[in-house]
Amino acid sequence: MVSIIQKVLFNLKYWMISEADEWLEKEGFKSDNFDLNEDFYIYRQVSQETLRKKGYTEYSKKIFYNHVQLIIATKSNSEINSNVR
């Protein structure tokens, strides 16, 4: 299944901004800006609009032991099947 990481989230209780930026750069992600909610630093990698235009309409979450979460966008099965010839 084709997927793209849309966002990377860091739990505020366990991460400082400088640590999150360093981790992102080390792992090859963008770290140029972030949003903040009451629980997480949220680093958007790809906009939802861009993903929608490319057929990515389903989202899932992957939680890691180090309090990092990935929001992963995938194409729906119907979108994938329509591209297979």
Residue 45 has pLDDT above 50, yes or no: yes
Amino acid at residue number 36: L
How much is the pLDDT for 85? 46
Mean pLDDT, to the nearest integer, of 63-77? 93
Between 14 and 76, the more confident residue is: 14
Mean pLDDT, to the nearest integer, of 39-57? 97
Q: What angle do CA 11, 22, 6 make, to 5 degrees?
A: 60
Backbone angles phi, psi at 8, to 5 degrees: -120, 125
Q: Is the pTM of this model over 0.95?
A: no
Q: What is the 3-state secondary structure (H, E, C) of 17-49?
A: HHHHHHHHHHHCCCCCCCEECCCEEEEECCCHH
